[in-house]
Amino acid sequence: MNTRIAIIALSAGALALGACKKDPPESLPPEPLPTTANNTPATDPNAGMSGPGTQSHFEQMVNGQNVIYFDTDRYNIDSADAAALQMQARYLAQYPNVTVTVEGHADERGTRDYNLALGERRANSAKNYLVSLGVPTARVRTVSYGKERPVALGSNEQAWAQNRRAVTVVVN
């Protein structure tokens, strides 16, 4: 509990300073498959995007910033993460019917059980930050996939940096 408070205070601090930007991974991972958006009705062919409440709409509205990244064995929200989560929070404020799942992931260089717990920690860091920005806690659930679902397939620092992530996914 203390840890969480500390994290929020820290990230709020980072936000206020607006400094210390962490470089994101050089190449962004491919967008997660919109598994929850399969039944999206193509309502308006002129819109060029799916409607509110779909994963693709969410990702477009947050400029693809639905994923945040973590350092090895860390789960703190840095300034880049905070900026992404603020965009996500604005979207959730604009579309109050949307609920999301934050998926926490770890890279392959960890033991299985620990990585499940670490993924849960990361997902909760993201959730707590969203909640601190006013998103009702009931609209954000978390799930950890540990090291089970990598997006980058290499066994190198760049791939691992892309896999240490929390992905916000719209729940239909």
Partner 1 sequence: MKKLTILLLSAAAFHAMPAMAQDLGQAPPPDGTVETLEEETSGLSGSVTDDTAWQDLSIVIPGFATDRNADTAANASGTAALGKEIARVVFNDLRNNGLFEPVGPDALPQPSYSQITAPSWPVWGNRNAQMLIQGYVQAGADGRLTVGCYLYDVALQDELARAGWVVQPGDWRRAAHKCADLVYGRLSGEDPFFDSRIAYIAETGPKDNRTKRLAIMDSDGANHRFITTGRSTALTPRYSPDYRQLTYLSYVDGNPRIYVYDIGTGRQTLVTESANPTFAPRWSPDGRFILYSMAVNGNTDIYRVPATGGTSTRLTDTPGIDIGGSYSPDGSRIVFESDRSGSQQIYVMNADGSGQRRLSFFGGRAATPEWSPRGDQIAFTHIGGNFRIAVMNPDGKNIRYLTNSWQDEAPTWAPNGRIVQFFRTERGSGDTALWQVDLTGTNERRLATPADASDPSWGPILP
- Residue 131's Cα: distance from chain center in Å? 13
Residue 85 or residue 118: which is nearer to partner 1 going by CB? Answer: 118
Instruction: Kindly identify the residues of this chain, within the stretch 47-106, that bind partner 1 according to CB under 8 A.
Output: 53, 73, 75, 97, 99
- Candidates 61, 85, 123, 161; binder of partner 1 (CB under 8 A) is 123
Structure tokens at 160: 């691992």
Amino acid code (one letter) for 35: T
The secondary element (H helix, E strand) that includes residue 106 is none
Position 132 contacts partner 1 (CB under 8 A)? no
> Distances from the Cα of 99 to the Cαs of 29, 73, 78, 128, 162, in angstroms?
23, 28, 24, 15, 25
Site mask for partner 1 (CB under 8 A), range 11-30, x = bound: --------------------
Residue 65 or residue 144: which is nearer to partner 1 going by CB? Answer: 144
Position 45 contacts partner 1 (CB under 8 A)? no
Position 118 contacts partner 1 (CB under 8 A)? yes
Position 44 contacts partner 1 (CB under 8 A)? no
The secondary element (H helix, E strand) that includes residue 124 is helix 112-132
